[in-house]
Structure 1
Amino acid sequence: MRGVKRVAVVLAVLIVALVVVAFVLENQQGVSLSFLGLATGQMPVSVFVVVALIVGMLLGPLLRVLVLRRRSKPVSVVRG
Structure 2
Amino acid sequence: MLGLKRVLFLLFMLMIAVFVILFVLGNQQMVSLMIFGWSAPAVPLAIPMIFSLLLGLAIGPVLGVYIVIRAKRRVSADA
**TM-score > 0.5, shorter chain as reference:** yes
Bigger helix share: 2
Residues 25-36 of structure 1: pairs in structure 2 closer than 5 A: 25-36=25-36
Query: Number of residues paired by the alignment?
Result: 76
Could you tell me how far apart the structure 2 residues matched to 1:70 and 1:39 are?
38
Cα RMSD after superposing both structures: 1.4
**For residue 68 of structure 2, what is the aligned residue in structure 1?**
68
**For residue 4 of structure 2, what is the aligned residue in structure 1?**
4
Query: Residue type of the partner of 1:47?
Result: I
**For residue 43 of structure 1, what is the aligned residue in structure 2?**
43
Query: Which consecutive residues of structure 2, in runs of 5 or more, have no partner in the other structure?
Result: none
TM-score, normalised to structure 1, is 0.85
Query: Which consecutive residues of structure 1, in runs of 5 or more, have no partner in the other structure?
Result: none
Could you list the structure 1 runs, at least 4 aligned residues long, displaced by more than 4 angstroms after superposition.
none
TM-score, normalised to structure 2, is 0.86
Q: State the identity as a percent.
A: 36
The structure number with the bigger radius of gyration is 1
